[in-house]
Amino acid sequence: MGLVSAKEMLIKARKEGYAVGQFNINNLEWIKAVLTASEEMKSPVILGVSEGAGKYMTGYKTVVAMVEGMLDFYNITVPVALHLDHGSFEGAKACIEAGFSSVMFDGSHYSIEENVQKTKEIVKYAAERGISVEAEVGSIGGEEDGVVGGGEVADPMECKMIADLGVTMLAAGIGNIHGKYPANWQGLRLDVLKKIQEVAGIMPLVLHGGTGIPDQMVKDAIALGVSKINVNTECQLVFAAATREYILADKDLVGKGFDPRKLLAPGTQAVINTVKEKIELFGSANKA
Ligand code: 13P
């Protein structure tokens, strides 16, 4: 199956009360890991690409070609969306032109009026091409690829304004941050999430900063309408830990242990394991 928009998989998830994982990709190994884990779990999946990761992988066209080639090579049968994460206005348009099936336009750092106006334009451009759109209200805290957010808690009425523009899914800041949570983190503002759900109706909601949120809190958020959960840092941490272990055990010094296909294998397997655990937690296994 080729790339699909995230719309159908998220409407189904919202209706049936589970969440689809967005796993951010960084290179060939990451794409392999996320696709094979999702296929094994029979789960729909969203591959997230930040603008920085897009540049790292030598451009959006390369990303599209790599992902499409792998869908074919592995004979992937589960629905897969290729999604721009925290896109700028120009970035969202460039990804649509390059063949992405889904984009996020993050206008949370603009005034609500400008966010509405720019989101509306992207929605129109995307809708004409069958592409799903994620919008954001209330920036997510922490730093991701140079995008720094202060961690605002979204205003439910502003969420309604953006939700009504015909977006596919809505990300709202509810005390979540990218990267590791500090020890004194107060947890997700589930009270705010509830209010957002009340005004946004059946709109699939997106939870960013999926790394390090306690399992029960993740399940509570899903029960309140979260249908897409983004995970990035956790995969990076397990990849780095497994690679570190391999090198510290001097495995690169034995035989052809320095071969990148061997050197990167434990990290890749660690990403597969983490993606499978998240799919289990989010409830999307066997939902393809
Ligand atoms: P983490 O890096 O905290 O898992 O967040 C990922 C994310 O929200 C991508 O948009």
The per-residue pLDDT for range 109-136, each reduced to its tens digit, is 999 999 999 999 999 999 999 999 999 9
Of 24, 34, 139, 207, the one to substitute when testing ligand 1's pocket (max ligand atoms within 8 A of C-beta) is 24
Is residue 24 lining ligand 1, measured as CB closer than 6 Å?
yes
Is residue 176 lining ligand 1, measured as CB closer than 6 Å?
no
- Catalytic residue from among 85, 164, 215, 259: 85
> What do you get for the CA distance between the two ends of the chain, in Å?
12
In 10 A of CB 61, how many CB atoms? Answer: 15
> What is the longest distance spanned by two Cα atoms in the chain?
62
- Which ligand 1 atom is nearest residue 22's CA? 9
Domain ranges of the chain: 7-236+268-282
- Which ligand 1 atom is nearest residue 210's CA? 4
- Sign of the Cα pseudo-torsion (277, 101, 224, 162, in order): positive
Beta strands 102-105 and 132-137 are parallel
- Return d(Cα 94, Cα 277) in angstroms, integer: 33
pLDDT score recorded for residue 1: 82
Q: Which CATH superfamily does the domain covering 7-236+268-282 fall into? A: Aldolase class I (3.20.20.70)
Amino acid in the structure at residue 158: E
Q: Whose CA is nearest to atom 1 of ligand 1?
A: 209
Residue pair 96/103 in contact by the 8 Å Cβ criterion: yes
User: What is the DSSP secondary structure assignment for residue 140, as one 8-state letter?
Assistant: P
Q: 5 is written with which tokens?
A: 């928009």
pLDDT tens by residue, 20-44 = 999 999 999 999 999 999 999 999 9
Least Cα distance to 88 among 58, 142, 126, 50 occurs for 50
pLDDT score recorded for residue 152: 75
Is residue 209 lining ligand 1, measured as CB closer than 6 Å?
yes
- Burial degree of 127 (CB within 10 A; 0-12, 13-18, 19+): middle
Whether residue 85 lies in the annotated active site: yes
Q: 66 is written with which tokens?
A: 């790599």
pLDDT score recorded for residue 153: 87
Residue pair 158/138 in contact by the 8 Å Cβ criterion: yes
- Which ligand 1 atom is nearest residue 233's CA? 2
- Burial degree of 73 (CB within 10 A; 0-12, 13-18, 19+): exposed
Q: 229 is written with which tokens?
A: 């959960």
Distance between Cα 230 and ligand 1 center (Å): 5
Is residue 149 lining ligand 1, measured as CB closer than 6 Å?
no
Q: What is the pLDDT along the chain (288 residues), one digit of tens a residue?
A: 899 999 999 999 999 999 999 999 999 999 999 999 999 999 999 999 999 999 999 999 999 999 999 999 999 999 999 999 999 999 999 999 999 999 999 998 999 999 999 999 999 999 999 999 999 998 776 666 666 555 678 999 999 999 999 999 999 999 999 999 988 888 999 999 999 999 999 999 999 999 999 999 999 999 999 999 999 999 999 999 999 999 999 999 999 999 999 999 999 999 999 999 999 999 999 999
In 10 A of CB 211, how many CB atoms? Answer: 22
In 10 A of CB 212, how many CB atoms? Answer: 16
